[in-house]
């Protein structure tokens, strides 16, 4: 009778284990589309069977098995960091390049061409008031074009500044979620698939924003480190990031009045901008501090647009000021056509203007050798200059502006191509992760059938054992 009782107990334990297995499958199915969820399975342990020792075998539950593959998770996170970088880079370089009309029909390129054409027309009739006035009007349009482009790029810089600040706030919010996970992990040693899914969903979201690595500690908590080693989350401690817009002081600024750049600071106020090389934040910083700064300047560089504006203004002014307004004896010297803030070389484009003091008859067509239209011809020749005067790096002013525009377009084209390629890489990595740890509804359906059959068989055994016990009880004759 004791053997039947033990067998009934064993069958009951088996039923409980099988019921737990079915519950795990149901949980998998319910969370098949939950971000960060990895399929679970119940470990079933065979119990020893030795009739002589009273061990009747059976099966019991022995904890959950998590299908999550850390390598696959890190692969998705790493590739997503790159995608976030290229996406932000493509979006913002697209905005930057949109301000450059590569057709030359408008903007700086068009106004420069019109200025050189006005110089050419003036050279044929240097004393004509209309030709002189046209030169002033064209010069004013050039100045306005430079100012307009500089203002548009400055506004773009400010927009990116706002995006950087918003992205840093999102990073801090996700870091708070991970810190809370660590707190809960220390309070309970039991595995929780739901909390685990929330953690990896948070890490996926974080990988879209910045580059980082994770280390799982022996107590189950997760340490999140930015690529340079700065801890974002360390156990129950969160280190809050912040953003700042300023002119860098290290190294010593060459252009102290330049357009400020973006910085990311750690919890102690240390500049960790150089560590942010991935994710949306990395792409924003690259577009802001490299691409845009290359055009508009920063503490260490004047910026190509400022170089062009200053080169044009200085050359035109030098030619005009070297000559006279006529060939008559004692004729007045020429007057500068352009003005700009000479104290701040990194703001030339935004401060370039037509000299408010110049009048049409103060233009000096006569060169220093006395040629009546020598200066006017020299100014007209700037359109296709090839010598040392009227060029920057061997390029004419029109060619140099075309190079600025082409570089902006190339930055956007490269970023867009990288984004499209990286989207495919992320999709592949995500698919591979899903194959390893995702929930397969077909596999779960198959497992349900197996465990249901095992449950029914065990229940039948339990019924037989119960009947046997009843029969044995009936055989006992009361005395």
Tell whether 317 and 342 lie within a shared domain: yes
* pLDDT tens figures, 224-246: 999 778 999 999 999 999 999 99
CA distance 143 to 339: 9
Tell whether 269 and 362 lie within a shared domain: no
* Confidence check: pLDDT of 6 > 80: no
* Confidence check: pLDDT of 156 > 90: yes
At 23, the pLDDT band (50, 70, 90 cuts) reads confident
CA distance 454 to 45: 15
Residue 187 in tokens: 């309070």
CB 399 within 8 A of CB 382: no
Of 121 and 46, the one with more pLDDT: 121
What is the extent of the structural domain holding 394?
107-149+302-404
Q: What single DSSP character describes residue 252? A: P
**Residue 455's pLDDT is what?**
67
CA distance 182 to 16: 32
Question: Which residues does 130 contact at the CB level (< 8 Å), separation at least 6?
Answer: none
41-55, 150-164, 384-398: which range is least confident on average? 41-55
CA distance 77 to 81: 6
Tell whether 399 and 425 lie within a shared domain: no
* Confidence check: pLDDT of 51 > 60: no
Nearest Cα to 215, choosing from 339, 318, 312, 70?
70
CA distance 414 to 409: 9
Nearest Cα to 316, choosing from 337, 335, 340?
337
CA distance 178 to 176: 5
* pLDDT tens figures, 89-106: 999 999 999 999 877 788
Which sign, positive or negative, has the C-alpha torsion 165, 168, 172, 178?
positive
Tell whether 279 and 372 lie within a shared domain: no
DSSP per-residue string spanning 136-148: HHHHHHHHHHHHH
DSSP per-residue string spanning 403-471: HHHHHHHHHHHHHHHHHHHHHHHHHHHHHHHHHHHS--HHHHHHHHHHHHHHHHHHHHHHHHHHHHHHH
Of 374 and 18, the one with more pLDDT: 374
Question: What pTM does this model have?
Answer: 0.86
* pLDDT tens figures, 420-441: 999 999 999 999 988 888 666 6
Tell whether 288 and 420 lie within a shared domain: yes
CA distance 317 to 355: 10
Tell whether 413 and 297 lie within a shared domain: yes
Q: What single DSSP character describes residue 209? A: T
Q: Is residue 439 part of a domain?
A: no
* Confidence check: pLDDT of 36 > 90: no
CA distance 371 to 1: 130
Query: Mean pLDDT, the chain, as a whole number?
Result: 88
Q: Is residue 128 part of a domain?
A: yes
Q: Is residue 80 part of a domain?
A: yes
The phi, psi pair for 330, rounded to 5°, reads: 75, 15
* pLDDT tens figures, 331-343: 999 999 999 999 9
15-24, 70-79, 233-242: which range is least confident on average? 15-24
Report the percent of the chain where pLDDT is more than 90.
65
The position carrying tokens 């701040």 is 344
Tell whether 243 and 325 lie within a shared domain: no
Which sign, positive or negative, has the C-alpha torsion 350, 337, 130, 122?
negative
CA distance 354 to 338: 5
CA distance 110 to 405: 13
Q: Is residue 155 part of a domain?
A: yes
Q: Residue 292, class by beta-carbon neighbours within 10 Å (0-12 exposed, 13-18 middle, 19+ buried)? A: buried
* Confidence check: pLDDT of 52 > 70: no
CB 355 within 8 A of CB 342: no
CA distance 28 to 39: 6
CA distance 347 to 180: 47
Tell whether 386 and 353 lie within a shared domain: yes
* Confidence check: pLDDT of 474 > 90: no
Q: Is residue 384 part of a domain?
A: yes
Domain tally, the chain: 3
Q: Is residue 443 part of a domain?
A: no
Tell whether 117 and 160 lie within a shared domain: no
**Residue 19's pLDDT is what?**
72
**Residue 26's pLDDT is what?**
74
Q: Is residue 434 part of a domain?
A: no
Tell whether 338 and 290 lie within a shared domain: no
Residue 38 in tokens: 């990895």
Q: Is residue 6 part of a domain?
A: yes
At 69, the pLDDT band (50, 70, 90 cuts) reads confident
**Residue 250's pLDDT is what?**
82
* Confidence check: pLDDT of 117 > 60: yes
Tell whether 169 and 256 lie within a shared domain: yes
Report the percent of the chain where pLDDT is more than 70.
82
* pLDDT tens figures, 285-303: 999 999 999 999 999 999 9
**Residue 40's pLDDT is what?**
64
Tell whether 216 and 359 lie within a shared domain: no
Of 298 and 2, the one with more pLDDT: 298
């Amino acid at each position: 009778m004791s053997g039947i009782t033990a067998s009934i107990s064993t069958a009951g334990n088996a039923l409980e284990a099988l019921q737990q297995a079915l519950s795990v499958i149901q949980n998998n199915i319910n969370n098949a589309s939950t971000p960060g969820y990895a399929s679970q399975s119940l470990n079933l342990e065979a119990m020893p069977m030795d009739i002589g020792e009273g061990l009747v075998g059976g099966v019991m539950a022995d904890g959950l098995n998590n299908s999550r593959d850390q390598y696959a998770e890190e692969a998705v996170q790493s590739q997503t960091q790159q995608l976030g970088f290229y996406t932000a880079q493509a979006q913002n370089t697209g905005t930057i390049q949109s301000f450059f009309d590569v057709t030359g029909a408008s903007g700086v390129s068009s106004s420069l061409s019109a200025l050189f054409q006005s110089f050419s027309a003036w050279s044929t009739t240097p004393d004509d008031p209309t030709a002189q006035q046209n030169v002033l009007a064209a010069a004013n349009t050039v100045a306005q074009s430079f100012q307009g482009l500089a203002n548009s790029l400055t506004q773009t810089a400010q927009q990116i500044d706002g995006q950087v600040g918003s992205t840093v706030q999102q990073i801090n919010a996700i870091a708070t979620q991970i810190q809370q996970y660590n707190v809960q992990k220390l309070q309970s040693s039991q595995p929780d698939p739901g909390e685990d899914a929330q953690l990896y969903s948070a890490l996926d979201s974080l990988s879209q924003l910045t580059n980082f690595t994770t280390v799982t500690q022996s107590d189950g908590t997760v340490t999140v480190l930015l690529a340079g080693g700065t801890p974002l989350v360390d156990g129950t401690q969160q280190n809050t990031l912040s953003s700042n817009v300023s002119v860098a002081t290290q190294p010593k600024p060459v252009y102290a009045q330049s357009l400020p750049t973006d910085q990311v600071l750690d919890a102690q106020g240390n500049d960790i901008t150089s560590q942010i090389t991935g994710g949306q934040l990395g792409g924003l910083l690259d577009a802001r501090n490299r691409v845009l700064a290359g055009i508009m300047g920063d503490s260490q560089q004047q910026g190509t647009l400022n170089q062009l504006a200053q080169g044009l203004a200085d050359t035109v002014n030098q030619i005009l000021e070297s000559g006279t307004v006529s060939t008559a004896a004692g004729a007045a010297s020429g007057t500068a056509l352009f003005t700009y803030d000479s104290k701040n070389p990194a703001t030339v484009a935004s401060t370039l203007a037509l000299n408010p003091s110049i009048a049409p008859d103060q233009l000096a067509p006569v060169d220093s050798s006395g040629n009546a239209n020598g200066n006017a011809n020299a100014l007209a020749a700037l359109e296709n200059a090839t010598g040392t005067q009227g060029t920057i790096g061997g390029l004419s002013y029109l060619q140099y502006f075309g190079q600025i525009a082409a570089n902006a377009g190339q930055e956007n084209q490269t970023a867009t191509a990288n984004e499209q390629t990286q989207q495919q890489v992320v999709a592949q990595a995500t698919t591979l992760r899903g194959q390893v740890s995702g929930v397969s509804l077909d596999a779960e359906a198959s497992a349900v059938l197996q465990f249901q059959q095992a449950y029914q068989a065990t229940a039948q055994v339990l019924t037989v054992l119960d009947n046997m016990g009843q029969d044995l009880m009936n055989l006992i004759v009361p005395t």
